[in-house]
């Protein structure tokens, strides 16, 4: 995968945890680009955009953007201009003004009316990190941004601004999460292969892969029409083909569509540790039932959404066009 690491106001490619992260990712075979933007006296949205123009041809469909401090707001400006990214990892990010000395250099980048729905269309996965005691960016700023982006926000106690003066010359948690995303990306691609097989057979374009300890255990696709059995969802077939999952560890179910209540219950019952899906299912509330299951003593899997969402959406759009139907009609008939 290709990653960009973007520094904040007054920073540079050689500061904070940027060189460490670049080295670690390159050791794993990823391509990493760390641009150097103009300093505080010359900083503006225009000058930063001009600097980034030389890298636009480096952007690919699997690009990951990692940004610190003011840089997350810069990334939002890129996304609102139509730049696409597979994932964004924001560290100490915010929008708007802070009421401190950094407002002047930051304001053209951060103090803007962002269309977050448009932004989320160009990137479906956001993860955020923020120090509980950040001296520059109040936690409330990060919480607001996370709400706007439907992002997971990880608050790090005593993390400060998550930069070198706060003790962050390395950032292992960020590296771990990028590694997890990279693995999720790979396996979701395999689930999409199964989804395409389903569509070729006239089935709903849903595919699933079951993985344990980084190893594929089974794969399947929807076959409710072929088998004339409504329970033959991709996830159910995949779990059944996987056999006795209780003897395995670190089990992840990858599926191209948010699983229904039946499939989620099967995953819980069979000991699945994580459920990763690409596309939200309209009117589907399966993952919202997890707290209710937990009340009854069930071991609840971690849920991650939005991995390769647009590819799954594209499959469904093709399917709906061929069948002359809509997603709500499909869901009502098939689930």
Annotated catalytic residues are 235
Give 328: exposed, middle or buried? Use CB within 10 Å, 0-12, 13-18, 19+: exposed
Give 17: exposed, middle or buried? Use CB within 10 Å, 0-12, 13-18, 19+: buried
Residue environment code for 48-66, b if the CB has 16+ CB neighbours within 10 A, otherwise e: bbeebeeeeeebeeebbbb
Helix (H, G, I), strand (E, B) or coil at 99: coil
Give 225: exposed, middle or buried? Use CB within 10 Å, 0-12, 13-18, 19+: middle
> Can you tell me the distance from the alpha carbon of 248 to that of 216, in angstroms, rounded to the nearest whole number?
12
Radius of gyration of the chain (CA): 21
Strands across the sheet with 64-68, in order? 31-33, 2-6, 64-68, 87-91, 126-131, 152-156
> Can you tell me the distance from the alpha carbon of 29 to that of 226, in angstroms, rounded to the nearest whole number?
42
CA dist list (Å): 238 to 48, 122, 199, 331: 47, 30, 17, 20
């Amino acid at each position: 995968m290709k990653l960009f690491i973007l520094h904040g106001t007054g920073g540079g490619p050689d500061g904070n945890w940027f060189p460490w992260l670049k080295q670690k990712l390159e050791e794993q075979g990823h391509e990493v680009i760390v641009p150097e933007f103009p300093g505080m006296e010359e900083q503006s949205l225009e000058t930063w955009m001009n600097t980034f123009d030389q890298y636009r041809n480096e952007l690919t469909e699997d690009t990951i953007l990692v940004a610190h401090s003011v840089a997350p707001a810069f990334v939002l400006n890129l996304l609102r201009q139509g730049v696409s990214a597979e994932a964004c990892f924001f560290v100490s990010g915010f929008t708007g003004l802070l009421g401190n000395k950094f407002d002047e250099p930051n304001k053209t980048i951060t103090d803007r009316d962002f269309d977050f729905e448009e932004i989320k269309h160009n990137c479906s996965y956001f993860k955020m990190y923020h120090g509980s005691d950040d001296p520059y960016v109040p936690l409330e700023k990060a919480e607001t941004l996370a709400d706007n982006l439907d992002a997971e926000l990880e608050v790090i106690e005593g993390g400060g601004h998550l930069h070198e003066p706060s003790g962050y010359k390395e950032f292992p948690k960020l590296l771990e999460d990028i590694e997890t995303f990279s693995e999720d990306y790979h396996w979701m691609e395999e689930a999409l292969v199964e989804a395409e097989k389903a569509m070729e057979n006239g089935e709903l374009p849903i595919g699933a892969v079951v993985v344990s300890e980084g190893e594929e255990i089974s794969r399947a696709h929807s076959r409710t029409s072929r088998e004339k059995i409504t329970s033959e969802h991709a996830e159910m077939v995949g779990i059944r083909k996987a056999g006795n999952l209780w003897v395995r560890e670190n089990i992840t179910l990858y599926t191209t569509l948010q699983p229904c209540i039946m499939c989620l219950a099967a995953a819980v019952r069979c000991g699945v540790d994580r459920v990763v899906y690409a596309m939200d299912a309209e009117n589907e509330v399966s993952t919202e039932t997890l707290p209710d299951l937990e009340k009854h003593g069930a071991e609840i899997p971690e849920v991650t959404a939005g991995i390769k969402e647009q590819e799954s959406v594209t499959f469904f759009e093709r399917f709906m066009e061929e069948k002359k139907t809509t997603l709500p009609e499909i869901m009502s008939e098939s689930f």
